[in-house]
């Protein structure tokens, strides 16, 4: 029996040359896919046929908590369904009751071997998403840093409005973040003054010259007949030494309207998202709703777009600037879209002009009647 740590993709070299009967992958979601791919070729090789004896069984087993929905393991289990692979979903230690509250699962496996009130104590002081993944064994996302938008609560702000479609009489707002990982967030204002972020368009390692026509094609295919209004990072309207055309000019050239926001100060951009996250519209919902189709923005708000923790002992400390990763560009595109539409300005100006909550609005009406 051989115990090996496979923590990073480059650890795949440890698997080369192994002659194994079987493999057990512990905490499988923490193991990089390249390692699993190679290990799948190393089992069944011991005993060797040349010894005159063959193994009566060979293969791979794995255990893990439920991974994120964009994890390679989720893709295999829920979408690809590779032949000769089987996936077993064990009920979690906690389940939700009819009121949507977490409770200890009376049918939880292995409970007799756990400390008294193990799951009940485990829920104390934990976030909804942490409980969902680590105790409920459901697919979800848990951040490993300090979220840039801590007021986002996935169970509150992400709603699956299956029958909702963007209205053609209301313009679709496009928020842009440029660079080599350009991103576009799709928003529409509701009749109650709220916002619905319903889609996203993201590219990797692509210039504006390639991104713009691809986005135009997507808009024509998916949202034909709609009108658009776009807002982007002001730096996207500045030229450089390699070309006279700016990203915003290139976007406009393919027929997509886009204007720079008044500022790219992080305080203003963050407030453009934080304000509608914390306010309630007249329909009783948060003023900013994220639909599941905008999955990268959703995960970015849930903590993927974060301040990385500084690896020092003692009290937790975090970097001053957010980590630039696959989630930062789509979320910042959302920020620019809402900023361009005027969200968050009152907070930065220090004025008490925020939209009232439903309860506050009702009190105001009563005073007016008197």
Helix (H) or strand (E) holding 25: strand 22-26
pLDDT, mean of residues 119-133: 88
Percent of the chain topping pLDDT 70: 89
- Tell me if the domain spanning 154-361 has CATH number 3.30.420.280: yes
Average pLDDT over residues 160-179: 92
pTM recorded for the entire structure: 0.69
Provide φ and ψ at 354, rounded to 5°.
Answer: -70, 150
Question: Residue 63 forms beta bridges with which residues?
Answer: 26
Q: What is the C-alpha separation between 291 and 167, in angstroms, rounded?
A: 15
> Is residue 144 predicted with pLDDT exceeding 90?
no
Q: Which residue has the higher pLDDT, 174 or 126?
A: 174
Determine if residue 44 is left, alpha or beta; phi over 0 gives left, psi from -120 to 50 gives alpha, anything else beta. Answer: left
Are 28 and 60 in contact by the 8 Å Cβ rule? The answer is no
pLDDT band for position 282 (50/70/90)? confident
DSSP string, 160-191: --TT----TTSPEEEEEE-SSS-EEEEEEE-T
CB 66 within 8 A of CB 91: no
Q: Is the peptide bond before 47 cis (omega within 30 degrees of 0)?
A: yes
User: Hey, where are the domains in the chain?
Assistant: 9-64, 94-140, 154-361
pLDDT digits (tens, 9 = 90+) for 172-229: 999 999 988 999 999 999 998 999 999 999 998 898 999 999 999 999 999 999 999 9
- Among candidates 63, 9, 77, which has minimal Cα distance to 38? 9
pLDDT at 365 over 90: no
- CA–CA dist 341, 276 (Å, integer): 12
Cβ(158)–Cβ(290) under 8 Å? yes
Coil, helix or strand for 197? strand
DSSP 209: H
Provide CB contacts within 8 A for 1, sequence distance 6+.
Answer: none
Q: Give the per-residue pLDDT at 1.
A: 93
Range among 69-78, 122-131, 330-339 rated most confident? 330-339
DSSP 264-301: --HHHHHHHHHHHHH-B-TTSSBSEEE-TTSHHHHHII
């Amino acid at each position: 029996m051989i115990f090996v740590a496979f923590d990073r993709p480059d650890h795949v070299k440890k698997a080369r040359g192994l002659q194994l009967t079987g493999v057990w992958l512990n905490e499988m979601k923490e193991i990089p896919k390249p390692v699993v791919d190679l290990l799948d070729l190393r089992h069944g090789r011991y005993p060797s046929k040349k010894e005159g004896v063959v193994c009566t069984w060979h293969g791979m087993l794995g255990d893990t908590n439920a991974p994120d929905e964009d994890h390679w393991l989720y893709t295999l289990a829920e979408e690809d369904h590779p032949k000769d692979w089987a996936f077993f979903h064990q009920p979690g230690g906690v389940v939700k009751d009819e009121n949507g509250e977490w409770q200890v699962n009376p049918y939880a496996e292995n409970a007799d071997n756990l400390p008294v009130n193990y799951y009940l104590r485990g829920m104390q002081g934990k976030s909804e998403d942490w409980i969902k993944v680590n105790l409920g064994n459901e697919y979800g996302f848990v951040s490993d840093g300090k979220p840039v938008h801590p007021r986002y609560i996935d169970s509150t702000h992400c709603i699956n409005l299956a029958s909702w479609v963007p209205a053609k009489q209301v313009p679709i707002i496009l928020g842009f973040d440029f660079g080599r990982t350009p991103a576009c967030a799709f928003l529409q204002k509701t009749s109650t003054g709220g916002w619905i972020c319903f889609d996203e368009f993201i590219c990797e390692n692509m210039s504006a010259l390639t991104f713009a026509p691809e986005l135009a094609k997507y808009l024509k295919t998916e949202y034909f007949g709609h009108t658009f209004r776009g807002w982007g990072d002001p730096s996207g309207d500045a030229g450089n030494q390699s070309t006279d055309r700016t990203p915003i000019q290139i976007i406009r050239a393919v027929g997509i309207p886009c204007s720079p926001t008044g500022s790219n100060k992080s305080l203003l951009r963050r407030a453009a998202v934080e304000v509608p996250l914390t306010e309630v519209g007249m329909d009783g919902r948060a003023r900013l709703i994220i639909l599941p189709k905008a999955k990268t923005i959703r995960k970015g708000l849930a903590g993927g777009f974060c301040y990385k923790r500084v690896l020092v002992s003692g009290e937790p400390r975090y970097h001053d600037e957010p980590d630039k990763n696959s989630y930062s560009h789509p979320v910042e595109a959302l920020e620019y879209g809402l900023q361009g539409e005027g969200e968050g300005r009152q907070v930065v100006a220090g004025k008490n002009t925020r939209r009232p909550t439903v309860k506050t609005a009702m009190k105001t009406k009563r005073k007016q009647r008197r």
